[in-house]
Amino acid sequence: MDLNGWPHLRLLLEAASSLQPLQVWLFGSALRSEHPADLDVLLVYEDRSAVVALRKMEPWEDFQPPFHIIAMTPREVDEYEFIKSTRAVRLI
C-alpha cells in the first residue's frame, strides 16, 4: 500500500509505533479509493492508555482526509469479527 498520498497517516503510524503494543489497521473506503472521504483506522490495544496518548498527540479528525479512529481490545475484535468483516489491512 502506497502511503505517499496520505502523509498524515504516516505521522499516525510513527506516533503509534512509539506506543507499543498498539496495532493499527486501515479499513473502509481508503482501501478502495485513492481519494477517500476519510481514513478509517482501527487501533487494537492491550493498554487503553496507549490509545488515549495517541489521541492527544494530534487533532487527527482535523486532517484532510480526516481520521475516524475506533479502538478495540483483541477480544472485542475477535468477538465482533471486525477485521474479517471489514477486510481491514494491518499497517503496524
Q: Say what the pTM is.
A: 0.92
pLDDT for 6 equals 87
Q: State what percent of residues in the chain have pLDDT above 90.
A: 84
pLDDT for 62 equals 92
Query: pLDDT tens digits for 31-70?
Result: 998 889 999 999 999 999 999 999 999 999 999 999 999 9
Give the phi and the psi of residue 85 in degrees, each rounded to 5.
-70, -30
pLDDT for 34 equals 85
Strand-pair partners of 43:
24, 71
pLDDT for 1 equals 59
Domain parsing of the chain, residue ranges: 7-90
Cell digits for 80? 465482533
Question: According to CATH, what is the number of the domain 7-90?
Answer: 3.30.460.10
